[in-house]
């Protein structure tokens, strides 16, 4: 009996071959080197020759090209003999359970590290071991007695009841198992299973087992020596599986029902089996245990297993070392006294598979590799950074084990290590394992083998690269183009354009003390009382929303809000308008910001001041009218971070505002501000608007259950002059009338700058009794938003003699900061047309739309018709009466545009002039003063209208403020059957008939599209703007939070050499600099190489369309030219038989193309000489095919100039004097 | 290279015996002699008692594909004609690879109609015909896309379809009595060669060929009767080897990669699930993964 020390002396320096690859080979090589001091040798096929795992071997056995060579036992033994190998370790998989291996080794005089052939056959054969177990009174999974034919299988299945499993007699490791759930499947499953078994294990025989459904997989590792000594280790629990493949292995079992008794029982069974056949080496006995603690033997594995490492970690031992020693004849060292468990251990299998897409395997370059470490971690991997992971073998990249004295600590260590583990370039199971580790049911230990299949949320994870890396790719995308394609401003700039200075604003320090002027927050009554009793004028700042919406295309980013916000917070404003309107949508569409998250951040950076949002009555923030349940959801989210909710309706159809009013009025900390849309024209006078006010107050009273007197104290009335058309005297009289009838009602006045009369109008309103006015910080004021705060305040104080309370110093400071930001937005986002337009009082185009509408006309080539369009607007406003705010302003504009361009298309400018003459003759003129001719003529006015206009006339947006327009408008719009349409008119709110939205199914749809559980905000965004929400979610997934990039880089990208410093969302600093922006290749791709922190990356950017072949890239054959030989179809050229200078005869094969598995030979149309060969291929030799297109020119032939008189060989060159074939003179 | 054969002699033969031709075929037959500078063939044109179509037989030739083209060029090979050979010197597989052709196996080339209903018609129809013919004879086979026939995951047959200006020839080789030796495994061929005899199936090449021809005729008839192409795809997909298994795919251009084989596309291409999503390829080859 030899001892371990004897063995070490014996095998010192000897060569031990690991007939395996990857993880197994490296793991075993390590032990060979350690105490045993032997020489590790590895088999490698060509593809594995330089793989990272070969580092463990001192010598290699080169197996050649065929990836399957690891299975060729005879050849391996042949090489082993030649290289003087003393022993072979088969590892796991491959030939490790081929029972002929031990005998073959023995015949060759090489020691096999494992059991004998008999041992393998007796215990490793899945049918024989069941017999053996039965004879030893060890319970087995119910099933057939032995291998069966398909008929018997059917009978067994019927007797036992379905479901059953068909298993390969020669199989193992979870492979070769077919589940059969209904009898019809059995026959086809049987033949498939048999074929697969024959192919995989060389043995087609199958047996049948009952498929037990609520079981745990628990196995016992045993080790035995040649002398009858056997030791059984504590159980390994491998219950977390998928398709019978183990994913996670744990020792000891975390199952709450695991007992010492069960453990002992399993160990006893295992030892019995091993002893009964005199087996030695390692063996693992696998069992299934059901909920009642019934035990069933599945099989025995007669080899080292993938999960052996957790047993080693639990006991602090080396199983491979023992296995080798035993093979050489050592006595088993382990016994109950000297081998005790000391730790918990868990292993996860890190595979190169994508769990979210059916565990699809992937192969390719590993671009980054950072393995975890630290206490309690063991890594067995076969990869490294820069390694090309091959597709030919299994997907196992690494085995990660965590161990520790307590289970909770071990789990925490595993979670920490998984978070540290970086494998870049391939999809791996790392994030999936993180989901498992964190899963509540997993942690409870109380689950069965179906755990993975019944827990779909394991698949819902964000498989994200670190944010800095994603942001670096975004920067590369912008830099390669010179402009930002995501911001949706077109190609506003190119790579070589002049740049703005680096964005580095000087930020004055903020005072440590809190603001002086504080308005009550979260208390509606206190706030409104405060405003009413203050005796002064209050200001709302619109810089972050309406100003930048109107003047900077809504592109003002959250990043810049964060800079300016803290200053705005201390200015003493009643509220900051920071959300809603079109800003909401564009934040999603072009700034890739989540607007609700933006609101939350605003409350962090500017915690003191009230926040205000603008919403549309029927649509709220979305693209179409919202049913009640969606309005509830969106409304509640709005109220979380916006104190003042201003709501408008372009028809002033008060009923449309009611549903939202209900939501906001119910939130006691919020204030509802219904706003009246104002125009100034005949019919839209003070009495008219007073009716609207009455309706509003009545609605509020009804909703809140208060009297009118009390109700007026409970909200703010907004007055919204979106185009800036109402002159000072008008607003003055309106406000005065409101104050007289409702003295306690707080009035909030909002006006645009467009007509140039902002300041006097706001002053007049304040003088007449308006409490709050909207203004903006000076350096952001342009043409289309509000006016400037300090000048307005000065006018109000000095000209109107009223009081204000603003922190003017802070306003100045804020202005200084903003002044440094605005130039970037002016450069890239300013509207095309600018300037004051006093004519707005007649055409009425609201501030925000003025430039974009006119720009649209210009881009379509209609700039010369613009004056006519404006005149049309002026006229139609007198016929179809509503207010020019969203969507009314769009409808009006489109109507004018379509009418004028339609006239132009019909009859040129003359026709347009005629159209306008009709309009101006008719607008505002009563019917009895119109001639019959004119009455007929006027029908052309609305002929070209679109659906939105039609819907408006039918009342589908709501009740028109001055009632329906005259009948002739309908005749003009709808044509001869207009009366039918008129009969369908309604004055009901469009919200009444809306179907509830199925939020559950929308959630499911979104979940499916983004492949993870959406956040509450993501769902709300999706319900409001599905297309753009998805776009932003995907953008954020790919590129991170774009607000982290500095403003100039956001618009211009980086140039080579300049370093950008930025912080990720966790606040960690990073630096990036571009090394090179490559030229655009024929595929339209420019490669950007850059440094990010200490690593170098390459990111390809698709900057242009690929150059298309065919017309342009490839040369096409001239069909009429008999010397041109073309490709007969599109396919792959795999052999070109000729080269230039060859002579060919008619009918000879020139080349061959494979098209969908057919080979097409192309033969020469004539005798001749090959002049040009445009493409070539030789698949047999270099395994490359060249793609070709139908009609592509491949060969150009030429006539044979002359032939030798003597031997008739063709003479290729006219200038030859002698025949090159026979030498005769020519 | 195309052979420019010419027919030099025709004689009518009486009954005689031939070791590989079943007696039923030998009731009456003619011989043609085809020759060119390289070789001379004595080709037997057999009266096929089972079908009207022309059936040729030679003892040996370079390859039945070449011979078929020669017979076609000399106007002896109408649609559905086929030529069998006991042995080939240079049996041709895909891309001019050598198909080792010892006697006892089936080597045949048949002229198929050129139905340009999706260009994948001929190779796939032929594969389906072979699969169904074997099925009729009690043999479960699998189809390894694009051209191979497998039994028990060993390659027992292959198909080569060649086209020249509108004429389509399908060459079929099936190992009945023998397969190339294991040394073929030493190169990159991913599957072991096998032969039907190793599992106890005993078939004569003629019997097998007639069954396959029968299936071919039936399938093409169904197709021209208006049967939906998708029906054939479904049938072939059922017999597809490695379906839903992890494989290595070698595309016509670019490096090989891991994928899961999900099925056949309507044009007869192969559908793969890769990490970049579902992809369809019209050419390429499959290797199984080694465990």
Annotated active-site positions of A, please? 303
Q: Note whether B275 contacts A: Cβ–Cβ < 8 A.
A: yes
Mean per-residue pLDDT, A1172-1196: 86
Band (pLDDT 50/70/90 cuts) for residue A86 is very high
Cβ distance of B119 and A1156 shorter than 8 Å: yes
Is pLDDT above 70 for B9? no
Do A2 and A328 form a contact (C-beta atoms < 8 A)?
yes
Which CATH number is B250's domain given?
2.30.30
Minimal C-alpha gap between A1162 and chain B (Å)? 7
Cβ distance of A392 and B248 shorter than 8 Å: yes
Q: Are residues B274 and B203 in the same domain?
A: no
Which CATH number is B165's domain given?
3.30.930.10
Cα–Cα distances (Å) from B26 to A537, B10, B15, B54, B80, in that order, read: 117, 16, 6, 14, 20
pLDDT for B4 equals: 52
Do A674 and A715 form a contact (C-beta atoms < 8 A)?
yes
Q: Which of A70, A393, A1185 sits opposite B252 (nearest CB)?
A: A1185
Place of tokens 């497998």: B150
Q: Residues 219-258, chain B: which have Cβ within 8 Å of A?
A: 246, 248-250, 252-253, 255-258
Q: Residues 134-173, chain B: which have Cβ within 8 Å of A?
A: 140, 142, 146-147, 151-154, 160-165, 168
Lowest-pLDDT range of A756-765, A1058-1067, B47-56, B200-209: B47-56
Cβ distance of B152 and A204 shorter than 8 Å: yes
CA B82, CA A1034: separation in Å to the nearest integer?
Answer: 58
Cβ distance of A1135 and B95 shorter than 8 Å: yes
Which tens digit of pLDDT belongs to each residue from A1027-1048?
A: 899 999 999 999 999 999 999 9
Among A666, A603, A677, A598, CA closest to A631:
A666
pLDDT for A736 equals: 97
pLDDT for B100 equals: 82
- In CATH, which of 3.10.600.10, 3.40.50.410, 3.20.20.70, 3.40.630.30 is domain A467-503+1051-1102? 3.10.600.10
Q: Which of A391, A1163, A1179 sits opposite B258 (nearest CB)?
A: A391
Record the tokens describing residue B261, joined without a space. 């084989």
Chain B CB contacts of A1134 below 8 Å: 95
The DSSP letter of residue A632 is H
Cβ distance of A394 and B2 shorter than 8 Å: no
Which tens digit of pLDDT belongs to each residue from A295-338?
A: 999 999 999 999 999 999 999 999 999 999 999 999 999 999 99
Is pLDDT above 90 for A294? yes
- In CATH, which of 1.10.472.90, 1.10.260.40, 1.20.120.1200, 2.40.37.10 is domain A840-983? 1.10.472.90
Q: Which of B164, B188, B283 sits opposite A1154 (nearest CB)?
A: B283
pLDDT for A1199 equals: 84
Nearest residue of B to residue A1138, measured between CA atoms = B1
Is pLDDT above 80 for A979? yes
Which tens digit of pLDDT belongs to each residue from A799-835?
A: 999 999 999 999 999 999 999 999 999 999 988 888 8
Lowest-pLDDT range of A175-179, A183-187, A667-671: A175-179
Chain B CB contacts of A392 below 8 Å: 248, 287, 289-290
CA A93, CA A1004: separation in Å to the nearest integer?
Answer: 41
In sequence order, which residues have a C-beta less than 8 Å from that of residue A659 and are 6 or more positions away? Answer: A628, A631, A991
Interstrand relation of A671-677 and A716-721 (parallel, antiparallel or unpaired): parallel
Record the tokens describing residue A477, joined without a space. 């995308």
Q: Residues 120-139, chain B: which have Cβ within 8 Å of A?
A: 120, 122-124
pLDDT for A831 equals: 86
CATH code of the domain occupying A142-211: 3.30.1490.20
State chain A's mean pLDDT as an integer.
Answer: 91
Q: Are residues B44 and B184 in the same domain?
A: yes
Place of tokens 């003129």: A925
Alpha helix segments (H runs only) across A373-429: 407-420
**Which of residues B45 and A242 earns the better pLDDT score?**
A242
* Interface contacts (A, B; CB < 8 Å): 159
Place of tokens 């021809």: B213
- Largest interatomic CA distance in chain B: 65
In sequence order, which residues have a C-beta less than 8 Å from that of residue A116 and are 6 or more positions away? Answer: A102, A280
Q: Are residues B200 and B225 in the same domain?
A: yes
Q: Are residues B189 and B282 in the same domain?
A: no
**Which of A439-453, A545-559, A1152-1166, B3-17 has the highest average model confidence (pLDDT)?**
A439-453
Q: Are residues B90 and B162 in the same domain?
A: yes
Cβ distance of B123 and A1156 shorter than 8 Å: yes
Task: Answer whether residue B19 is part of any domain.
Answer: yes
Q: Which fold has domain A214-243+256-340?
A: D-amino Acid Aminotransferase; Chain A, domain 1 (3.30.470)
Cα–Cα distances (Å) from A378 to A312, A413, A470, B194, in that order, read: 11, 11, 30, 45
pLDDT for A609 equals: 95
Q: Residues 13-72, chain B: which have Cβ within 8 Å of A?
A: none
pLDDT for A1010 equals: 87
- Largest interatomic CA distance in chain A: 128
Mean per-residue pLDDT, A1135-1162: 86
Among A760, A687, A680, A690, CA closest to A721:
A680
Report phi then psi at B91, rounded to 5: -55, 140
Is pLDDT above 90 for A507? yes
pLDDT for B116 equals: 59
Do A847 and A752 form a contact (C-beta atoms < 8 A)?
yes
Task: Answer whether residue B222 is part of any domain.
Answer: yes
Q: Which of A68, A392, A1134 sits opposite B95 (nearest CB)?
A: A1134
CA A1066, CA A1110: separation in Å to the nearest integer?
Answer: 50
CA A670, CA A664: separation in Å to the nearest integer?
Answer: 6
Helical pair A430-438 and A407-420, crossing angle rounded to 10 deg: 150
Alpha helix segments (H runs only) across A785-807: 789-794
Place of tokens 């559980």: A1013
Place of tokens 């097409």: A1160
CATH code of the domain occupying A4-113: 3.40.50.20
Nearest residue of A to residue B260, measured between CA atoms = A360
Q: Are residues B169 and B40 in the same domain?
A: yes
Q: What range does the domain containing B259 cover?
A: 246-288
Q: Are residues B132 and B259 in the same domain?
A: no
Domain boundaries A343-463, CATH class: alpha beta
Minimal C-alpha gap between B10 and chain A (Å)? 25
User: H-helix or E-strand containing A1165?
Assistant: none
Which tens digit of pLDDT belongs to each residue from A846-875?
A: 766 777 788 888 888 888 998 999 999 989
Nearest residue of A to residue B252, measured between CA atoms = A1185
Do A883 and A959 form a contact (C-beta atoms < 8 A)?
no
CATH code of the domain occupying A524-801: 3.20.20.70
Q: Which of A195, A360, A1184 sits opposite B260 (nearest CB)?
A: A360
Number of H helices, E strands in chain B: 4, 17
Record the tokens describing residue A75, joined without a space. 């050849």
User: H-helix or E-strand containing A708?
Assistant: helix A708-711
Cβ distance of B119 and A200 shorter than 8 Å: no
Give buried/exposed letters for B259-270 (b at 16+ CB in 10 A, else e): bbbbbbbeebbb
Which tens digit of pLDDT belongs to each residue from A873-895?
A: 989 988 998 888 888 888 888 89
- CATH architecture for residues A1124-1211: Beta Barrel (2.40)
For an interface test with B, the pick among A47, A1011, A1159, A1163 (most B C-beta atoms closer than 10 Å) comes out as: A1159
Task: Answer whether residue B119 is part of any domain.
Answer: yes
User: H-helix or E-strand containing B105?
Assistant: none
Record the tokens describing residue A1083, joined without a space. 């595929």
Cβ distance of A195 and B140 shorter than 8 Å: yes
Do A1211 and A1157 form a contact (C-beta atoms < 8 A)?
no
B112: helix, strand or coil: strand
Q: Note whether B3 contacts A: Cβ–Cβ < 8 A.
A: no
Is pLDDT above 80 for A186? yes
User: ipTM for the complex?
Assistant: 0.79
Is pLDDT above 70 for A1076? yes
Is pLDDT above 50 for A46? yes
Cβ distance of B274 and A362 shorter than 8 Å: yes
Q: Are residues B254 and B125 in the same domain?
A: no
Mean per-residue pLDDT, A664-690: 93
Which tens digit of pLDDT belongs to each residue from A642-665?
A: 999 999 999 999 999 999 999 999
Q: Which of B4, B253, B257 sits opposite A1185 (nearest CB)?
A: B253
Cβ distance of B97 and A1180 shorter than 8 Å: yes
Number of domains in chain B: 2
Q: Note whether B187 contacts A: Cβ–Cβ < 8 A.
A: yes
CA A486, CA A590: separation in Å to the nearest integer?
Answer: 6
Band (pLDDT 50/70/90 cuts) for residue A1110 is very low
pLDDT for A168 equals: 86
pLDDT for B15 equals: 46
Task: Answer whether residue B71 is part of any domain.
Answer: yes
**Which of residues A1143 and B6 earns the better pLDDT score?**
A1143
**Which of A421-425, B22-26, B73-77 has the highest average model confidence (pLDDT)?**
A421-425
Report phi then psi at B284, rounded to 5: 135, 180
Q: First-to-last CA distance in chain B?
A: 42
Task: Answer whether residue B1 is part of any domain.
Answer: no
A822: helix, strand or coil: helix
Q: Are residues B234 and B279 in the same domain?
A: no
Cβ distance of A1156 and B164 shorter than 8 Å: no
Place of tokens 């000391």: A342
Q: Are residues B141 and B205 in the same domain?
A: yes
CA A900, CA A908: separation in Å to the nearest integer?
Answer: 10
Do B170 and B109 form a contact (C-beta atoms < 8 A)?
yes
Long-range CB contacts for residues A1086-1094, cutoff 8 Å, separation at least 24: A1086/A480, A1088/A476, A1088/A479, A1088/A480, A1090/A472, A1090/A475, A1090/A476, A1092/A468, A1092/A469, A1092/A472, A1093/A468
Cβ distance of A391 and B160 shorter than 8 Å: no
Q: Are residues B221 and B259 in the same domain?
A: no
Which tens digit of pLDDT belongs to each residue from A7-18?
A: 999 999 999 999
Q: Are residues B15 and B31 in the same domain?
A: yes
């Amino acid at each position: 009996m030899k001892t371990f020390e004897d063995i070490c002396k014996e095998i010192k320096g000897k060569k031990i071959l690991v007939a395996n690859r990857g993880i197994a080979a490296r793991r075993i090589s390590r032990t060979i080197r350690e105490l045993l001091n032997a020489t590790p040798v590895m088999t490698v096929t060509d593809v594995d020759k330089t793989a990272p795992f070969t580092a463990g071997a001192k010598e290699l056995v080169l197996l050649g090209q065929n990836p399957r060579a690891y299975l060729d036992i005879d050849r391996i033994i042949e090489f082993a003999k030649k290289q003087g190998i003393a022993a072979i370790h088969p590892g796991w998989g491959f030939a490790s359970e081929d029972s002929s291996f031990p005998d073959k080794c023995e015949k060759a005089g090489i020691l096999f590290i494992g059991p004998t052939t008999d041992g393998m056959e007796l215990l490793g054969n899945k049918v024989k071991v069941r017999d053996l177990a039965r004879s030893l009174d060890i319970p087995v999974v119910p099933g057939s007695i032995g291998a069966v034919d398909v008929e018997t299988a059917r009978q067994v299945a019927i007797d036992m009841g379905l479901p059953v499993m068909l298993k390969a007699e020669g199989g193992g490791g979870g492979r070769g198992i077919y589940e059969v759930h209904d009898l019809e499947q059995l026959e086809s499953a049987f033949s498939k299973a048999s074929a697969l078994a024959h192919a995989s294990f060389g043995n087609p025989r199958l047996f049948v087992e009952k498929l037990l459904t609520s079981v745990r997989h628990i196995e016992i590792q045993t080790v035995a020596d040649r002398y009858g000594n056997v030791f059984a280790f504590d159980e390994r629990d491998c219950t977390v599986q998928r398709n019978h493949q183990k994913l996670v292995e744990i020792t000891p079992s975390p199952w709450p029902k695991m007992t010492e008794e069960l453990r002992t029982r399993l160990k006893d069974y295992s030892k019995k089996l091993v002893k009964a056949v005199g087996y030695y080496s390692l063996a693992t006995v696998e069992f299934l245990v059901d909920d009642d603690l019934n035990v069933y033997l599945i099989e025995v594995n007669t080899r080292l297993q993938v999960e052996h490492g957790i047993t080693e970690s639990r006991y602090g031992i080396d199983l491979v070392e023992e296995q080798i020693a035993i093979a050489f004849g050592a006595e088993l060292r382990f016994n109950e006294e000297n081998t005790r468990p000391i730790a918990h251990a868990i292993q996860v299998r890190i595979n190169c598979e994508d769990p979210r897409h059916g565990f699809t395997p992937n192969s390719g370059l590993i671009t980054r590799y950072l393995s975890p470490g630290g206490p309690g971690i063991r890594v067995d991997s076969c990869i490294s950074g820069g390694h090309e992971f091959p597709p030919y073998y299994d997907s196992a990249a690494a085995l990660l084990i965590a161990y520790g004295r307590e289970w909770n600590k071990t789990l925490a260590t595993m979670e920490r290590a998984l978070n540290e583990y970086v494998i870049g370039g391939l999809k791996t199971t790392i994030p999936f394992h993180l989901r498992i580790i964190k899963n509540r049911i997993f942690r409870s230990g109380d689950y069965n083998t179906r755990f993975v299949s019944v827990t779909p949320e394991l698949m819902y994870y964000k498989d994200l690269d670190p944010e800095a890396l994603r942001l670096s790719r975004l920067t590369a995308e912008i830099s390669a183009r010179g402009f930002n394609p995501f911001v949706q401003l077109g190609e506003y700039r190119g790579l070589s354009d002049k740049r703005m200075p680096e964005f580095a604003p000087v930020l004055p320090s903020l005072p440590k003390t809190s603001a002086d002027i504080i308005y009550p927050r979260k208390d509606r009554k206190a706030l409104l009382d405060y405003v009413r009793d203050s005796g002064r004028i209050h200001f709302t700042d619109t810089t972050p929303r309406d100003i930048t919406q109107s003047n900077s295309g809504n592109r003002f980013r959250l990043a810049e809000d964060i800079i300016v916000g803290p200053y705005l917070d201390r200015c003493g404003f009643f509220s900051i308008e920071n959300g809603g309107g079109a800003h909401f949508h564009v934040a999603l569409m072009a700034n890739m910001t989540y607007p609700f998250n933006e609101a939350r951040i605003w409350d962090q950076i500017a915690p003191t001041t009230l926040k205000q949002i603008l919403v549309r009555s029927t649509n709220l923030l979305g693209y179409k009218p919202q049913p009640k349940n969606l309005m509830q959801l969106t409304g509640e989210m709005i109220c979380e971070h916006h104190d003042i909710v201003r709501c408008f309706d372009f028809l002033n159809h008060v009923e449309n505002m009611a549903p939202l009013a209900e939501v906001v009025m119910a939130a006691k900390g919020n204030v509802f501000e219904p706003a009246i849309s104002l125009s100034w024209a005949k019919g839209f006078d003070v009495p008219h608007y007073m009716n609207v006010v009455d309706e509003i107050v009545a609605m509020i009273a009804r909703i809140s259950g208060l009297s009118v007197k009390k109700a007026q104290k409970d909200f703010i009335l907004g007055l919204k002059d979106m185009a800036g058309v109402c002159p000072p005297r008008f607003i003055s009289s309106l406000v005065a009338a409101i104050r007289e009838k409702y003295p306690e009602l707080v009035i909030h006045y909002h006006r645009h700058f467009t007509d140039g009369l902002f300041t006097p109008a706001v002053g007049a309103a304040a003088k007449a009794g308006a409490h709050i006015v909207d203004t903006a910080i000076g350096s952001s004021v342009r043409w289309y938003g509000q006016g400037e705060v300090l000048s307005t305040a000065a006018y109000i104080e000095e000209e109107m003699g009223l009081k204000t309370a603003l922190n003017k110093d802070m306003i100045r400071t804020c202005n200084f900061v903003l002044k440094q930001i605005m130039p970037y937005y002016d450069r890239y986002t300013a509207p095309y047309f600018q300037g004051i337009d006093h004519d707005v009082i007649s055409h009425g185009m609201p501030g925000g739309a003025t430039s974009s509408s006119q720009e649209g006309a210009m881009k379509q080539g209609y700039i010369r018709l613009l004056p006519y369009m404006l005149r049309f607007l002026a006229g139609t406003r007198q016929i179809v009466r509503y207010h020019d705010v969203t969507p009314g302003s769009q409808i009006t504009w489109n109507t004018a545009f379509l009418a004028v361009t339609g006239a132009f298309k019909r009859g040129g400018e003359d026709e347009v002039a005629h159209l306008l003459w009709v309009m101006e003759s008719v607008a505002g003129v009563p019917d009895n003063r119109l001639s019959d001719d004119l009455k007929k003529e006027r029908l052309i006015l609305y002929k070209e209208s679109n659906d939105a206009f039609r819907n408006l006339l039918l009342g589908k947006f709501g009740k028109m403020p001055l009632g329906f327009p005259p009948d002739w408008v309908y005749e003009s719009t709808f044509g001869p059957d207009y009366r039918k349409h008129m009969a369908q008119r309604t004055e009901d709110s469009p919200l009444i008939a809306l179907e509830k939205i199925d939020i559950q199914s929308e959630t499911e749809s979104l979940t499916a599209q983004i492949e993870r559980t959406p956040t509450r905000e993501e769902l709300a965004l999706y319900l409001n703007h599905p297309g753009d929400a998805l776009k932003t979610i995907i953008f954020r997934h790919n590129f991170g939070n774009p607000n982290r990039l500095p403003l100039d880089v956001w618009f211009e990208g980086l140039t080579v050499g300049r370093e950008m410093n930025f912080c990720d969302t966790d606040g960690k600093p990073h630096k990036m600099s571009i090394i090179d922006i490559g030229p655009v290749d024929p595929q339209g791709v420019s490669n950007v190489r850059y440094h990010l922190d200490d690593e170098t990356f390459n990111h390809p950017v698709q900057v242009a369309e690929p150059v298309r072949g065919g017309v342009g890239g490839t040369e096409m054959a001239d069909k009429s030219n008999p010397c041109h030989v073309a490709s007969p179809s599109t396919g792959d050229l795999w052999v070109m038989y000729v080269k230039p200078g060859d002579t060919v005869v008619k009918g000879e094969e020139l080349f061959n193309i494979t098209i969908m598995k057919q080979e097409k030979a192309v033969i020469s149309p004539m005798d001749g000489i090959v002049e040009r060969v445009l493409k070539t291929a030789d698949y047999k030799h270099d395994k490359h095919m060249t793609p070709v297109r139908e009609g592509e020119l491949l060969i150009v032939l030429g006539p044979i100039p002359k032939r030798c008189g003597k031997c008739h060989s063709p003479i290729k060159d006219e200038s030859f004097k002698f025949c090159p074939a026979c030498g005769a003179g020519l | 290279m195309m052979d420019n054969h010419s027919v030099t002699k025709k004689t009518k033969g009486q009954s005689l015996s031939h070791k590989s031709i079943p007696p039923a075929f030998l009731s009456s037959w003619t011989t043609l002699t085809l020759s060119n500078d390289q070789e001379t063939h004595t080709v037997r044109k057999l009266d096929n008692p089972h079908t009207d179509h022309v059936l040729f037989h030679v003892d040996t030739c370079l390859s039945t594909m070449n011979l078929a083209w020669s017979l076609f060029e000399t106007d002896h090979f109408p649609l559905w004609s086929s030529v069998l050979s006991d042995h080939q010197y240079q049996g041709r597989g895909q891309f001019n690879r050598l198909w080792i052709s010892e006697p006892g196996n089936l080597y045949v080339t048949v002229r198929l109609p050129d139905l340009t209903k999706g260009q994948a018609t001929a190779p796939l129809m032929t594969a389906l015909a072979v699969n169904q013919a074997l099925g009729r004879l009690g043999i479960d086979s699998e189809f390894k896309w694009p051209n191979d026939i497998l039994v028990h995951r060993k390659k027992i047959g292959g198909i080569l379809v060649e086209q020249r200006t509108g004429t389509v020839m399908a060459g079929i080789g099936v190992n009945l009595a023998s397969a190339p030796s294991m040394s073929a495994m030493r190169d990159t061929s991913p599957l072991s060669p096998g032969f039907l005899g190793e599992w106890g199936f005993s078939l004569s090449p003629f019997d097998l060929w007639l069954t396959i021809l029968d299936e071919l005729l039936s399938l093409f008839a169904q197709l021209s009767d208006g049967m939906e192409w998708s029906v054939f795809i479904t049938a072939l997909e059922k017999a597809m080897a490695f379906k839903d298994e992890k494989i290595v795919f070698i595309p016509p251009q670019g490096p090989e990669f891991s994928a899961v084989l999900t099925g056949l596309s309507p044009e007869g291409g192969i559908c793969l699930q890769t990490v970049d999503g579902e992809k369809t390829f019209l050419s390429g080859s499959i290797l199984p993964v080694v465990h």
